[in-house]
């Protein structure tokens, strides 16, 4: 790791020292920051090209630097010749202005160690791209090493050079004199530009129709940097010391050959014997072999052969070359049109931009991103052109990586996000952005989404234009899954609700409801229940479309697996609202049927869920009673069990006549009455002073084998529910009282809790007889429909022929006027009514029997009438 860091440090130090030594002291550094060494170009690739930025504006530039140390081996007069030649070339380039010539941003500056000037941003020279890497940094930058020219780049590049030569020959009356790959520069966007005017020759008579050029004789003794590249020179330049515009066209032919042959010129020239080499070359050109041009595309091969002709008059001129069919490629024409956009009016531009999406997929990505995209984004300053340019920019963005999108496209899109004028243009821009919102939300960083993209959507929802609101509401569901939940919950949904409530447009209101219905799946259940469903009740209008929109949201929420509506909300809010809407007079038959279908579905589900809940609760109660029957509890747990068992059935089985307030009061008094209830149950065994004699005859055990056994006097007896009730047997064995119409004998037959309703007794001395109220109408409502396990089924069965009024009490009575007289004795003198059938929570009619006047026996124990009063206070 340390060695890697040291290597990196040495590399950075070397590069920094290299730049510093080359540019230090040059006036160009006062205005420009010099960056990384990226390429080389110019005559003999003598100029090093660096990245740079202007300090004041941060504008990107390329800094060309010639290090004078390169010519230290020459004599002083030779050095001066080289410097003068280089200066002349840069000064000539600075004076010339044309799209096909390299643009100079800062003129040449000289210091003791170097020459430097600044131009538009540059990628590399054509010579670098074709494999000539002289004067490049080591290692060679990978972007240059791996660069391959596409056909469209080659075609349009050669077309650009032809146009540049046409400008020089026709417009300036100048011959370049050294056209070669070293002097052709590829700028940052991929355009080919001409530089290297060190050996340019201007016409002696520029006003005449036929310009004349004076050519200097070849001087082989001069340093190579003071001479043009002989491999690209026309033969007449050396052999006849003459030149004209056709000489540049020969150089163009050699350049075209080099482009299609990996940078190799047509002939290799022996620079030590150049005259002999050119003489031999002249013979070869006169009888050129077809193999020489074999790699050149067939459609341009003949033109290249003409350009390489020995006779200058045979060579086509630059203007003719720009019109050959080879350059009629759709990609080349498209790029050419972009370069001439400044000459077009808005109508011509709009027509071109409309057809551009068909062409872009046919072009290489590099050409589109670095050549076409900058031209498109430059049109954003023209508001009228934005709706035509924007679709093409977003189409390019789809093919870009996220990094390229953020670096090359997003900075130019940010101002367009905020554009709102003119209104018609704003509508079109908004439509385009909303249709591509998935692209924007996918590739735009979260901060920019929050600050630029979503605010545009929010402005659209709040726009005064109904058309914009409708457009936005229609498109939001298509990209809702890409919006983060907090933004949707806190910003988007409130604006949709506001648009629905505040608008006077029926279309906006309906589209708001449709939009909400489509994005419900991206919301959580409780947000929908707390925010969306209550909002539906605030909508003031009652048009059928609005009502159906409301119904749709209810239906989507109700049927969605993730959402759903709780039965409590259905019963108290959803159903009442839907029922009230369903009878609106504006609805037709089909719409009404739709309402009723949803309402029936809701009712059915609510019934099913609640019925299931009650059934489960009932099963739990039955299981608890079964446990209590088979496993009697000890005395210490009795009060807790009694309280829990009594509490649940009380809610389920409270008589209809009992009010809600009395029921709550009964619940509050439950704990305080529990102990007194148990004591009263015990006192009942001693309440009747005239105890009937026990029945002589057969006896029946009324307890399961697992409970406490019934004993003689003083033995604890279980009632089948609560253990060790402690009833005193008075010295009599457990027996059955003879069956009679007014007396109860034996134990309970159904339930496990005491029958408090059967405590109504004949009070002896008063002779008062109480009639039980006829509550048979409520039996079916509060009595369980399921068969229960009876104690008679658990214990030994009674002998045949023995009947018990217990059975008649809970069946439909044969004689409703039968009065209960006397006191029933079930357990050796214990008053009856504590059997399993006497559960007050499933037989509410037992609570309705009128109570007798309370009385106290001498021992201070309440009679059964006072017990009834306690029960009535407790249970209403």
Angle 350-353-358 (CA atoms, 0-180°, nearest 5)? 145
User: Residue 487: which residues within 8 A CB-CB, separation 6 or more?
Assistant: 450, 454
Please, are residues 102 and 233 in contact by the beta-carbon 8 Å criterion?
no
Gap between the Cα atoms of 138 and 183, Å rounded: 22
- Cβ of 8: how many Cβ atoms within 10 Å? 10
pLDDT of 416 higher than 70: yes
Q: Please give the pLDDT value at position 481.
A: 82
DSSP three-state, residue 126:
helix
| Mean pLDDT value of segment 358-375 | 89
pLDDT of 536 higher than 60: yes
Q: Taking the chain, what is the end-to-end CA distance rounded to the nearest angstrom?
A: 88
Residue 439's pLDDT band (cuts 50, 70, 90): confident
pLDDT of 817 higher than 90: no
Closest CA to 642 of 684, 669, 670, 609: 670
Q: Taking the model in full, what pTM does it have?
A: 0.60
Q: Please give the pLDDT value at position 206.
A: 64
pLDDT: which is higher, 844 or 244: 244
pLDDT of 158 higher than 90: yes
Please, are residues 225 and 89 in contact by the beta-carbon 8 Å criterion?
no
pLDDT of 63 higher than 90: yes
Please, are residues 805 and 739 in contact by the beta-carbon 8 Å criterion?
yes
Least confident range from 183-197, 320-334, 772-786: namely 772-786
Task: Give tens-digit pLDDT for 137-156.
Answer: 888 888 898 888 999 999 99
Please, are residues 155 and 331 in contact by the beta-carbon 8 Å criterion?
yes
Q: Please give the pLDDT value at position 33.
A: 92
Pair of tokens at residue 246: 């056709």
The sign one gets for the Cα dihedral 682, 686, 691, 694 is positive
Residue with tokens 């608890």: 624
Pair of tokens at residue 383: 């508001």
- Cβ of 844: how many Cβ atoms within 10 Å? 23
Angle, nearest 10°, between helix axes 298-307 and 245-259?
Answer: 140
Gap between the Cα atoms of 377 and 412, Å rounded: 6
Averaging pLDDT over each range in 64-68, 488-492, 765-769, 816-820, which range is the top one?
A: 64-68
Largest distance between two CA atoms of the chain: 161
Gap between the Cα atoms of 600 and 587, Å rounded: 18
Least confident range from 124-138, 238-252, 477-491, 505-519: namely 477-491
Q: Please give the pLDDT value at position 14.
A: 46
* Pairing of the two strands 47-54 and 60-67: antiparallel
pLDDT: which is higher, 679 or 392: 392
Gap between the Cα atoms of 425 and 416, Å rounded: 11
Q: Please give the pLDDT value at position 289.
A: 78
Angle 491-496-497 (CA atoms, 0-180°, nearest 5)? 100
Dihedral (Cα; 188, 191, 195, 200), 10-degree rounding: -170
| Mean pLDDT value of segment 726-739 | 40
Dihedral (Cα; 869, 870, 874, 876), 10-degree rounding: 0
Please, are residues 507 and 466 in contact by the beta-carbon 8 Å criterion?
yes
pLDDT of 870 higher than 80: no
Residue 105's pLDDT band (cuts 50, 70, 90): very high
Q: Please give the pLDDT value at position 6.
A: 52
Q: Please give the pLDDT value at position 425.
A: 81
Q: Please give the pLDDT value at position 21.
A: 61
Angle 413-415-417 (CA atoms, 0-180°, nearest 5)? 70
Q: Please give the pLDDT value at position 631.
A: 66
Gap between the Cα atoms of 728 and 612, Å rounded: 45
Please, are residues 458 and 473 in contact by the beta-carbon 8 Å criterion?
no
Gap between the Cα atoms of 290 and 307, Å rounded: 15
β partners of residue 175: 201
β partners of residue 827: 830
Least confident range from 248-262, 452-466, 532-546, 633-647: namely 633-647
β partners of residue 106: 118
CB-neighbour burial class of residue 76 (10 A; exposed 0-12, middle 13-18, buried 19+): exposed
pLDDT of 798 higher than 80: no
pLDDT of 730 higher than 60: no
User: Residue 107: which residues within 8 A CB-CB, separation 6 or more?
Assistant: 90, 91, 94, 117
Least confident range from 394-398, 415-419, 532-536, 840-844: namely 840-844
Please, are residues 647 and 669 in contact by the beta-carbon 8 Å criterion?
no
DSSP three-state, residue 416:
helix
| Mean pLDDT value of segment 836-864 | 39
Q: Please give the pLDDT value at position 161.
A: 95
CA–CA distance from 304 to each of 256, 266, 295 (Å)?
A: 7, 11, 12
DSSP three-state, residue 769:
coil
The sign one gets for the Cα dihedral 793, 794, 799, 802 is negative
Kindly state the percentage of the chain with pLDDT values over 70.
69
């Amino acid at each position: 790791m340390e060695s890697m860091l040291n290597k990196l440090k040495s590399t950075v130090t070397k590069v920094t020292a290299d730049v510093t030594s080359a540019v230090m002291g040059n006036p160009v550094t006062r205005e420009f920051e010099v960056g990384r060494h990226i390429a080389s170009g110019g005559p003999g690739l003598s100029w090093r090209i660096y990245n740079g930025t202007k300090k004041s504006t941060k504008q990107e530039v390329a800094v060309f630097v010639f290090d004078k140390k390169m010519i230290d081996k020459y004599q002083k007069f030779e050095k001066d010749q080289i410097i003068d030649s280089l200066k002349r070339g840069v000064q000539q380039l600075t004076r010339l202005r044309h799209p096909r010539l390299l643009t100079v941003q800062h003129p040449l500056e000289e210091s003791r160690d170097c020459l430097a000037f600044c131009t538009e941003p540059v990628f590399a020279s054509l010579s670098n791209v074709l494999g000539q890497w002289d004067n490049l940094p080591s290692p060679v930058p990978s972007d240059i090493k791996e660069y391959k020219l596409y056909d469209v780049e080659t075609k349009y590049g050669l077309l650009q050079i032809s146009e540049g030569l046409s400008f020089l020959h026709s417009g300036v009356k100048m011959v370049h004199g050294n056209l070669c790959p070293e002097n052709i520069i590829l700028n940052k966007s991929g355009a080919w530009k001409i530089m290297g005017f060190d050996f340019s020759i201007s016409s002696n008579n520029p006003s005449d129709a036929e310009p004349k050029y004076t050519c200097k004789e070849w001087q082989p003794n001069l340093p190579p940097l003071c001479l043009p590249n002989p491999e690209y020179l026309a033969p007449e330049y050396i052999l006849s010391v003459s030149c004209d515009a056709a000489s540049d066209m020969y150089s163009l032919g050699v350049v075209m050959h080099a482009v299609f042959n990996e940078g190799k010129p047509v002939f290799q020239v022996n620079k030590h014997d150049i005259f002999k080499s050119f003489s031999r070359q002249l013979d070869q050109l006169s009888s050129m072999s077809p193999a020489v041009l074999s790699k050149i595309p067939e459609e341009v091969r003949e033109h290249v052969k003409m350009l390489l002709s020995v006779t200058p008059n045979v060579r086509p001129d630059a203007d003719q070359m720009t019109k050959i069919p080879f350059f009629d490629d759709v990609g080349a024409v498209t790029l050419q049109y972009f370069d001439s956009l400044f000459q077009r009016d808005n109508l011509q531009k709009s027509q071109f931009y409309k057809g551009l999406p068909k062409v872009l997929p046919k072009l290489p990505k590099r050409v589109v991103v670095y050549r076409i995209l900058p031209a498109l984004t430059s049109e954003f300053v023209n508001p009228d052109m934005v709706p035509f340019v924007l679709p093409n920019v977003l189409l390019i963005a789809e093919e870009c990586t996220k990094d390229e999108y953020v670096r090359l496209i997003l900075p130019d899109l940010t101002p367009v996000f905020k554009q709102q004028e003119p209104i018609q243009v704003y509508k079109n821009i908004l439509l385009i952005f909303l249709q591509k919102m998935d692209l924007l939300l996918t590739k735009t960083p979260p901060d920019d989404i929050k600050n630029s993209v979503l605010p545009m959507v929010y402005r659209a929802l709040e726009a005064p234009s109904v058309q914009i609101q409708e457009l936005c509401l229609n498109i939001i569901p298509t990209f809702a899954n890409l919006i983060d939940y907090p933004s949707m919950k806190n910003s988007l949904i409130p604006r949709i609700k506001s648009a629905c409530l505040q608008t006077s447009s029926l279309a906006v209101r309906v589209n708001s409801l449709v939009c909400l219905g489509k994005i419900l799946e991206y919301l959580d259940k409780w947000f929908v229940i707390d925010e969306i469903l209550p909002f539906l009740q605030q909508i003031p209008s009652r048009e059928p479309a609005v009502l159906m929109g409301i119904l749709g949201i209810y239906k989507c929420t109700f049927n969605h697996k993730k959402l759903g509506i709780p039965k409590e909300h259905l019963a108290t809010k959803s159903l009442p609202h839907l029922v009230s809407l369903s009878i609106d007079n504006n609805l037709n038959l089909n719409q009404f049927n739709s309402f009723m279908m949803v309402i029936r579905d809701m009712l059915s589900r609510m019934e099913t869920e609640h019925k299931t809940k009650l059934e489960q609760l009932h099963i739990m109660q039955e299981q608890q009673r079964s446990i209590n029957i088979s496993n009697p509890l000890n005395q210490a747990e009795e009060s807790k069990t009694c309280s829990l068992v009594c509490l649940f059935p009380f809610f389920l089985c409270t008589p209809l006549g009992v009010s809600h307030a009395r029921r709550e009061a009964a619940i509050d008094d439950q704990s305080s009455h529990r102990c007194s209830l148990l004591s009263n149950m015990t006192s009942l065994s001693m309440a009747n002073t005239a105890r009937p004699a026990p029945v002589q005859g057969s006896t029946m055990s009324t307890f399961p084998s697992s409970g406490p056994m019934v004993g003689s006097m003083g033995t604890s007896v279980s009632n089948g529910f609560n253990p060790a009730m402690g009833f005193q047997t008075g010295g009599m064995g457990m027996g059955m009282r003879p069956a009679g119409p007014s007396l109860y004998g034996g134990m309970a037959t159904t339930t496990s809790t005491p029958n408090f309703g059967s405590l109504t007794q004949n009070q002896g001395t008063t002779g008062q007889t109480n009639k039980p109220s006829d509550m048979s109408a409520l039996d079916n409502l509060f009595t369980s429909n399921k068969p229960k396990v009876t104690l008679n089924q658990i214990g030994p069965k009674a002998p045949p022929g023995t009947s018990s009024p217990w059975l008649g009490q809970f069946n439909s009575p044969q004689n409703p006027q039968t009065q209960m007289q006397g006191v029933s004795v079930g357990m050796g003198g214990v008053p009856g009514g504590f059997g399993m059938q006497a559960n007050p929570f499933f037989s509410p009619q037992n609570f309705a029997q009128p109570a007798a006047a309370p009385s106290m026996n001498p021992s201070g124990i309440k009679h059964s009438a006072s017990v009834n009063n306690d029960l009535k206070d407790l249970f209403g």
